[in-house]
């Protein structure tokens, strides 16, 4: 632990002592002096009895500011342990999109109870977002933004901005609408400040405003915001009515969520398999993949059985089955990681995908040739049989070429058919390449049997 971390945890311990002494004024002074992120770290470390004191010492608004720095996977139990009335007030103080993200993870009965107690206006804002499908722009947008009519003057808009800015999530962009609430332009805060008071918004706005559909996938929205360096983007319905905005902090959460999901799928597990998951539920989530892989493994075993006669005549061949299968799995997983990463970041167009396949074919050929030559020499020196060395070396070379191609091609094929390429998980690719390596290895061994005897 570095010095900064030591200082932080020493401060946490002092604040905990103050909290447990039930000195509300000293606690508020020290706790609220910290950044909300550090407040969240402290909050998650203390025991439930201490958290109950915190709820009593802080206002719902202060707790809401802290809660927005706690990950979605960790936050739900805290709302469950709060008094229902207090929790509903905290939800009301949070950004609408953040509140919706948490409520979407809760049981419907709890959601209804919170919304029933909540202020009617706040509840309506949350209900408006709750009905959007998960992982769409609508589900992550916020309705706390500032829109202005294109016929307003700069002076009127400045007055509106002063009034609405405290409740808006961002004021760097002002979105311009017509009389029917359709998005027609965007205006930066800088352009508004330097404009003449009597100028109309229509004359200074930028009509080329980038927007996303309310039904657009959140991952596509994240890519667009990354590519264009936007701090926020407006969300519209199919008639171009402005519904909300998506801010960069929401996109950072989406990118983390998508990365975590892709990593889980690459490992052949459900992205819902977290540290708090019940063992029975975790097993239920993993079993489908494992059962599929079990049957694929049986297929591999049956293929080896087809070459029983070859094995009986040259028993030493069985020693090298794990070597060839392992090399195929390793190189296939490497190619898979490169392909999935490229697809996730959007760096491959149609020409880029062809370039990737050609590059991986060349990589497989080079690595296969080098590894094949090395193992040929080793086996010749070990077994004093040049033909056995050539067989193993050639098998590894061909296996690495095919496995590398499979590792890159299968994700691209899945992406072509609108299937998440991360589903082509490491275990799946490994098992497929086991089958390929067995066919190559024993096919060559059977063909050149007379040289091995």
pLDDT at 353: 78
The 3 state secondary structure assigned to 386-416 is: HHHHHHHHHHHHHHHHHHHHHHHHHHHHHHH
Stretch among 232-246, 286-300, 393-407, 435-449 having the lowest mean pLDDT: 286-300
Tell me the pLDDT tens digit for each residue of 147-201: 999 999 999 999 999 998 888 888 888 999 999 999 999 998 899 999 999 999 9
The helix or strand, by DSSP H or E, that contains position 213, with its residue range, turns out to be strand 212-213
Helix residue ranges per DSSP H, 131-271: 137-140, 154-164, 189-194, 201-204, 218-228, 248-266
What mean pLDDT, rounded, does the chain reach? 84
For the domain covering 3-134, report its CATH number.
1.25.60.10
pLDDT at 267: 54
Predicted confidence (pLDDT) at residue 424 exceeds the cutoff of 80: no
pLDDT at 187: 92
Percent with pLDDT over 70 in the chain: 88
Q: Which of 247, 228, 409 is nearest to 335 (CA)?
A: 409
Residues 379/387, Cβ–Cβ less than 8 Å:
no
Specify the higher pLDDT residue, 180 or 290. 180
Residues 148/209, Cβ–Cβ less than 8 Å:
no
Report the distance separating Cα 136 and Cα 239, nearest Å.
Answer: 17
| Helices and strands (H and E) in the chain: how many | 23, 6
pLDDT at 263: 56
- Nearest-10 Cα torsion for 50, 55, 59, 63: 80
Q: Residue range 364-376: average pLDDT?
A: 93
For the domain covering 279-452, report its CATH number.
1.10.357.20
Report the distance separating Cα 415 and Cα 353, nearest Å.
Answer: 11
For the domain covering 147-263, report its CATH number.
3.10.580.10
Strands, E assignment, 237-394: 242-247
Residues 185/176, Cβ–Cβ less than 8 Å:
yes
Q: Residue range 79-100: average pLDDT?
A: 89
In the chain, what are the domain boundaries? 3-134, 147-263, 279-452
Q: Residue range 229-255: average pLDDT?
A: 88
């Amino acid at each position: 632990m570095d010095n900064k971390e030591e200082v932080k945890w020493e401060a946490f311990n002092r604040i905990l002592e103050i909290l447990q002494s039930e000195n509300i004024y000293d606690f508020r002074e020290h706790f609220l002096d910290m950044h909300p992120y550090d407040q969240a770290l402290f909050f998650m470390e203390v025991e439930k009895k201490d958290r109950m004191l915190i709820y009593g010492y802080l206002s719902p608004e202060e707790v809401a500011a802290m809660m927005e720095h706690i990950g979605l996977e960790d936050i739900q139990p805290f709302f469950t342990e709060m008094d229902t009335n207090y929790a509903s007030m905290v939800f009301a103080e949070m950004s609408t999109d953040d509140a919706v993200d948490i409520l979407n993870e809760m049981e419907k009965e709890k959601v209804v109870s919170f919304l029933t107690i909540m202020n009617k206006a706040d509840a309506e804002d949350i209900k408006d977002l709750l009905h959007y499908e998960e992982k769409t722009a609508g589900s992550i947008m916020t309705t706390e933004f500032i829109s202005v009519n294109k016929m307003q003057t700069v002076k009127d808009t400045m007055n509106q901005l002063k009034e609405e800015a405290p409740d808006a999530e961002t004021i760097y962009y002002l979105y311009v609408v017509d009389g029917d609430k359709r998005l027609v332009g965007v205006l930066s805060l800088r352009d508004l400040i330097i404009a003449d008071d009597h100028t109309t918004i229509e004359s200074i706005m930028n009509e080329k405003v980038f927007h996303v559909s309310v039904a657009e996938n959140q991952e596509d929205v994240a890519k667009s915001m990354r590519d264009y360096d936007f701090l926020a983007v407006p969300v519209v319905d199919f008639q171009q009515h402005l519904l909300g905005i998506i801010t960069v902090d929401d996109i950072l959460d989406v990118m983390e969520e998508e990365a975590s999901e892709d990593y889980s799928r690459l490992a052949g597990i459900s992205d819902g398999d977290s540290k708090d998951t019940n063992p029975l539920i975790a097993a239920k989530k993993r079993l489908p993949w494992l059962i599929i892989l079990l049957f694929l493994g049986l297929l591999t075993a049956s293929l080896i059985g087809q070459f029983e006669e070859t094995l009986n005549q040259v028993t030493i061949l069985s020693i090298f089955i794990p070597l060839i299968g392992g090399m195929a799995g390793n190189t296939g997983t490497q190619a898979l990681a490169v392909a999935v990463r490229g697809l996730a970041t959007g760096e491959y167009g149609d020409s880029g995908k062809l370039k990737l396949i050609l590059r991986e074919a060349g990589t497989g050929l080079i690595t296969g040739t080098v590894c094949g030559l090395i193992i040929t020499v080793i086996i010749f020196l070990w077994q004093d049989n040049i033909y056995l060395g050539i067989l193993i070396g050639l098998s590894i070379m061909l296996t690495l070429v095919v496995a590398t191609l499979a590792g890159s091609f299968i994700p691209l094929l899945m992406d072509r058919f609108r299937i998440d390429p991360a589903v082509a998980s490491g275990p799946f690719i490994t098992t497929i390449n086991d089958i390929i390596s067995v066919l190559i290895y024993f096919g060559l061994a059977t063909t050149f049997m007379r040289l091995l005897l």
